[in-house]
Each structure stands twice: as structure tokens, then as C-alpha cells.
């Protein structure tokens, strides 16, 4: 964590800012309108990277959880918690942007398409994870339980994917994209990845500071 | 493992608390559906399959709540952990206990609710017990794991369904689909069957492996 700190504190915010401005510029100025859907389609450039971040969050939660169970290193527990919180934010963004897009294109705010269903179920798993942490308190036991939930959650994803796909399907498949669109999507993905990493870093640092304060306070009480 | 399973079953048969309360609860859920929807609306295999599974899931949730409560309250669980039993074995015993309780209830509730819904009993129903069994195993695998977690937290009544229900979505979809195919006597999609089976295998094995992390004191 210490080795990453100079980069995260000095470079990452600027990197996020630059790429985000570039991404915005490309979304609004550079990329052409989609032929059928028109202007609304541009929300897709924020929608898809957010969805990727949602999944990324899930894998970090599970991976960090597994590492925590294995090694008992507190850092991994904090990482899992931070990733769950940030993942939840992006998951919510996916649902909201998807809704805004679906209204003019599909004519409804919500429909039970497999991917929508999947994301809303993922949202509830994130919610369960955060509630377990919130209601359980900050103990070592809860940290282990949360890790178990994170791992089971990730194992559930492939099954969920198959189940909802067999269940029904109308989500647009992206077949061919104009090169401008592809570049814009790429830029947005990079920007969102930077944003994700930066947010994760900030949350991780605040969590470990909180931890440090708790330890110090405990020591102070012990000495007094 | 058999001894552990026997202990749970024996405890239950001495009191019959859990079975009787479960049975009445499941019956009440069925009645609530009938009153809320009116009997005419509960028609077609899809609705009937859905109601059957919702009933089983909610009754099952109550059964899971109880499965660790007795031991937690009287401190017996620490005793179990101190004994030289592998936590994985403990998990399997607990899970099998839950499966058996649920099956005992289902044996009565499933035919009863199908009768209430007016489903004709025909030859295609012979597959129903297999489907119910597969669904119950998957449900109990995840259920036992998360019941063990929930019982050691505050707010255990809320936390169990909150953790369990989202994870059960694939199982629930698959179980309802297969059940509705069985009820309508149609040829079913083998894919659903495989989803059920995969769910069972994945989570029984994961539960068995990871349970030691849950029960560590």
C-alpha cells in the first residue's frame, strides 16, 4: 500500500481528471450519432464502463476476501470493504443510466431483460454484503463472514448468468461499431477505470485511517 | 456425521416443535396466496409452480433460522467445535438435517397445495419429488451456511433472508421452470435441470470447504 501511495496521491487524481475530460469531450463532440437510436445512445459510453466496474468490484471483493481468509491480513479485508462500496456505486449508476436509456428506446423504464435482471440481483448481493458489515459491526468475525459472502457471491454469478439468459432476452447486442465509437468507448473505459481505482484508493485510505484511530484510542485508554 | 445428524433429528422428534410450526406456516402461506389471488387466478402450471416454490422458500427460511438457534443459545455449539469433528462434516450433517426437515414438510405441503390449486394428479408428477429434492438440497446448502453466519450477528432474523434470497435466484428460476414443465406434462428443457444440479454441486462443495471459516471462534 505504501509503495502505491505516491502514485495514487499525486498522479491518479490528475490522470482521472484528464481522461474523464477527454472521455466527455469524445462522447459529446467526437463520436457520431448512432443511426437508429440517435442522441440517447451516447449514454452507453458511460453505461458499459460502469457495468464493467461493477463486475470488477465483485471480483476484487471475492479475491480480497479469499486472501483475507487465507492470510488473515487486515489490509485485504479493508480492500474488500472498499471495493464493495465503490462497486455498489457503479452498480447503481448502471441501473440509472440503463433506465434513462431504456425509456426512449424500449418505451419503458424497466423490463425483465436478462442483463437488467442480473444487474439488479448483483445490486441486492452488494446490498446484502454491505448490510452484513453494517449490522454486524467491525469485528474479525464479521470480516470473515463478509469474505464468505463475497466468495459465494462470485460463484453465484455464472449460474445467475445462465439462469437469466435462459429465462428471457432482448438486450441489444453490440455487433459492429464504428471506429470512432470504439475509441470513445475505450477512452471512457480508461477514464472509469481510473475513477474506480482512485475512489477505491481514497476509501481504502480512509478505512485504514479509521482503523489506526481505533487502535490508538484503545492504546490511549489502556495506558490511562 | 451420522451421530450429529441423529442428534438433530432426535431433538426434533422429542419436541416436534420445528416440524409442526413449519407445517402450519407453509399451509398458511398457501392460504394467503389463495386469498390474495382468488382461486380462479391460480391457474396454469407456471403460477402453480411459482407459488409452490415461494411457499417452500419462505417456510424453509424459518426452518433455517431455527437450525442453529438452539445450539447458539445454550452454548452447545462451542462444545461441538471443541470435539474432534471436521467442520466440513459438521456442515454436511447440519445440511442433511435441514434437507430432511424440509422434505418431511414438503411431502405433506406439496401435494396439499397442489390439491388446493386444483392441479390434476397425473403420471407426469412422478418427476416432481426429484425436482423438489434437488431444489431443497441447493437451498439447504446455501441456507445452512448463511444460517450459521446470521445466527452469530445482531439482526439475525433480517440478515438471513437478505443474504440468502439474492443468491438463491438462479436456483429459484430453474426450480420453478422445471416444476412448471412437470406440472404441465411437457417435455422440459434439460438445461434447467443442469442448472439445478450445478447449483447443488457447487454450493454443497463450497459450503463443505468454507464452513471452517464460519465456525471459527
Integer Cα distance of B119 and A138 in angstroms: 51
Nearest CA in chain A to B142: A152
What's chain B's Rg over C-alpha atoms? Answer: 18
Q: Which three cell numbers stand for residue A178?
A: 464504428
Integer Cα distance of A90 and A126 in angstroms: 11
Determine what percent of chain B is predicted with pLDDT higher than 90: 11
What is the number of structural domains in chain B? 1
For B206, the closest of A125, A128, A152 (CB atoms) is A152
- Report yes or no: A40 at the B interface, CB cutoff 8 Å: no
For B149, the closest of A69, A124, A145 (CB atoms) is A145
Residues 6+ away with beta carbon under 8 Å from B88 = B208, B209, B211, B212
Question: Can you give the three-state secondary structure of chain B, one letter per residue?
Answer: CHHHHHHHHHHHHHHCHHHHHHHHHHHHHHHHHHHHHCHHHCCCHHHHHHHHHHHHHHHHHHHHHHHCHHHHHHCHHHHHHHCCCCHHHHHHHHHHHHHHHHHHHHHHHHHHHHHHHCCCCCHHHHHHHHHHHHHHHHHHHHHHHHHHHHCCCCCHHHHHHHHHHHHHHHHHHHHHHHHHHHHHCCCCCHHHHHHHHHHHHHHHHHHHHHHHHHHCC
Average pLDDT of chain A, as a whole number: 84
**Min Cα separation A128/chain B (Å):** 5
Residue B167 pLDDT class (50, 70, 90 cuts):
very high
Q: Do A148 and B214 touch (CB under 8 A)?
A: yes
**Disruptive mutation site among B167, B176, B207, B217 for chain A (greatest number of A CBs within 10 Å):** B167
Using DSSP's 3-state secondary structure scheme, residue A38 falls into strand
Q: Which three cell numbers stand for residue B27?
A: 399451509
Tens digit of pLDDT for each residue in B90-104? 888 888 888 888 888
Query: What are the chain B neighbours of A151 within 8 Å (beta carbons)?
Result: 206, 210
Residues 6+ away with beta carbon under 8 Å from B171 = A159, B135, B138, B139, B196, B199
Under an 8 Å CB criterion, which residues of B touch A? 142, 145-146, 149, 152-155, 158-159, 162-163, 165-167, 169-171, 173-174, 177, 189, 191-192, 195, 198-199, 202-203, 206, 210, 213-214, 216
pLDDT of residue A169: 52
Nearest CA in chain A to B189: A166
Q: Do B142 and A152 touch (CB under 8 A)?
A: yes
Integer Cα distance of B72 and B52 in angstroms: 31
**Residue A171: pLDDT above 60?**
no
Q: Do B170 and A159 touch (CB under 8 A)?
A: yes
Q: Do B173 and A167 touch (CB under 8 A)?
A: yes
Domain boundaries, chain A: 41-223
pLDDT of residue B116: 80
Using DSSP's 3-state secondary structure scheme, residue A33 falls into coil
Q: Which three cell numbers stand for residue B155?
A: 439482526
Residue A188 pLDDT class (50, 70, 90 cuts):
confident
> Using an 8 Å Cβ cutoff, are A42 and A31 in contact?
yes
Determine what percent of chain B is predicted with pLDDT higher than 70: 88
Tens digit of pLDDT for each residue in A83-117? 999 999 999 999 998 888 888 878 788 877 777 88
Query: What are the chain A neighbours of B203 within 8 Å (beta carbons)?
Result: 152, 155
Tens digit of pLDDT for each residue in B57-112? 988 888 888 777 777 766 677 777 777 778 888 888 888 888 888 888 888 888 88
Lowest mean pLDDT among A174-178, B22-26, B177-181, B209-213: A174-178
pTM of the model: 0.83
Q: Do B198 and A142 touch (CB under 8 A)?
A: no
Q: Do B167 and A151 touch (CB under 8 A)?
A: no
For B216, the closest of A131, A132, A144 (CB atoms) is A144
**Min Cα separation B144/chain A (Å):** 13
Query: What are the chain A neighbours of B166 within 8 Å (beta carbons)?
Result: 121, 124-125, 128, 156
Q: B73 lies in which domain range?
A: 2-215
pLDDT of residue A128: 92
**Residue B52: pLDDT above 80?**
yes
Q: Do A163 and B174 touch (CB under 8 A)?
A: yes
> Using an 8 Å Cβ cutoff, are B100 and B63 in contact?
no
Query: What are the chain A neighbours of B171 within 8 Å (beta carbons)?
Result: 159
For B166, the closest of A121, A136, A162 (CB atoms) is A121
Amino acid at each position: 500500500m505504501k509503495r502505491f501511495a505516491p502514485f495514487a496521491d499525486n498522479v491518479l487524481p490528475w490522470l482521472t481528471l484528464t481522461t474523464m475530460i477527454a472521455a466527455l469531450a469524445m462522447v459529446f463532440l467526437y463520436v457520431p450519432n448512432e443511426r437508429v437510436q440517435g442522441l440517447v445512445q451516447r449514454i452507453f459510453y458511460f453505461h458499459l464502463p460502469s457495468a464493467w466496474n461493477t463486475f470488477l468490484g465483485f471480483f476484487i471483493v471475492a479475491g480480497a476476501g479469499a486472501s483475507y481468509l487465507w492470510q488473515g491480513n487486515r489490509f485485504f479485508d479493508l480492500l474488500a470493504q472498499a471495493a464493495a462500496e465503490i462497486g455498489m456505486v457503479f452498480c447503481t449508476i448502471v441501473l440509472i443510466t440503463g433506465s434513462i436509456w431504456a425509456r426512449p428506446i424500449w418505451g419503458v423504464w424497466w423490463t425483465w431483460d436478462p442483463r437488467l435482471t442480473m444487474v439488479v440481483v448483483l445490486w441486492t448481493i452488494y446490498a446484502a454484503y454491505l448490510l452484513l458489515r453494517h449490522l454486524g459491526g467491525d469485528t474479525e468475525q464479521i470480516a470473515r463472514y463478509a469474505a464468505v459472502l463475497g466468495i459465494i457471491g462470485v460463484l453465484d454469478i455464472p449460474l445467475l448468468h445462465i439462469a437469466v439468459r435462459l429465462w428471457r432476452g432482448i438486450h441489444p447486442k453490440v455487433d459492429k461499431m464504428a471506429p470512432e465509437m470504439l475509441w470513445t468507448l475505450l477512452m471512457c473505459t480508461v477514464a472509469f477505470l481510473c475513477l474506480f481505482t482512485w475512489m477505491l484508493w481514497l476509501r481504502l485510505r480512509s478505512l485504514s485511517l479509521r482503523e489506526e484511530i481505533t487502535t490508538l484510542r484503545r492504546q490511549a485508554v489502556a495506558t490511562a | 456425521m451420522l451421530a450429529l445428524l441423529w442428534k438433530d433429528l432426535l431433538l426434533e422428534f422429542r419436541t416436534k416443535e420445528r416440524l409442526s410450526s413449519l407445517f402450519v406456516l407453509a399451509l398458511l402461506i398457501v392460504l394467503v396466496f389463495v386469498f390474495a389471488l382468488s382461486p380462479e387466478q391460480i391457474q396454469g402450471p407456471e403460477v402453480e409452480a411459482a407459488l409452490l416454490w415461494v411457499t417452500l422458500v419462505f417456510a424453509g427460511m424459518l426452518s433455517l433460522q431455527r437450525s442453529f438457534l438452539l445450539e447458539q443459545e445454550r452454548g452447545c455449539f462451542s462444545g461441538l467445535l471443541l470435539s474432534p469433528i471436521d467442520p466440513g462434516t459438521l456442515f454436511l450433517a447440519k445440511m442433511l438435517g435441514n434437507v430432511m426437515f424440509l422434505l418431511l414438510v414438503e411431502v405433506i405441503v406439496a401435494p396439499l397445495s397442489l390439491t388446493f390449486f386444483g392441479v390434476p394428479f397425473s403420471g407426469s408428477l412422478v418427476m416432481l419429488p426429484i425436482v423438489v429434492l434437488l431444489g431443497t438440497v441447493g437451498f439447504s446448502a446455501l441456507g445452512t451456511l448463511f444460517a450459521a453466519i446470521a445466527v452469530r450477528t445482531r439482526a439475525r432474523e433480517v440478515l438471513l433472508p437478505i443474504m440468502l434470497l439474492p443468491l438463491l435466484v438462479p436456483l429459484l428460476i430453474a426450480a420453478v421452470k422445471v416444476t412448471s414443465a412437470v406440472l404441465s406434462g411437457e417435455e422440459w428443457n434439460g438445461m434447467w435441470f443442469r442448472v439445478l444440479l450445478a447449483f447443488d454441486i457447487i454450493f454443497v462443495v463450497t459450503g463443505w470447504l468454507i464452513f471452517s471459516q464460519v465456525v471459527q471462534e
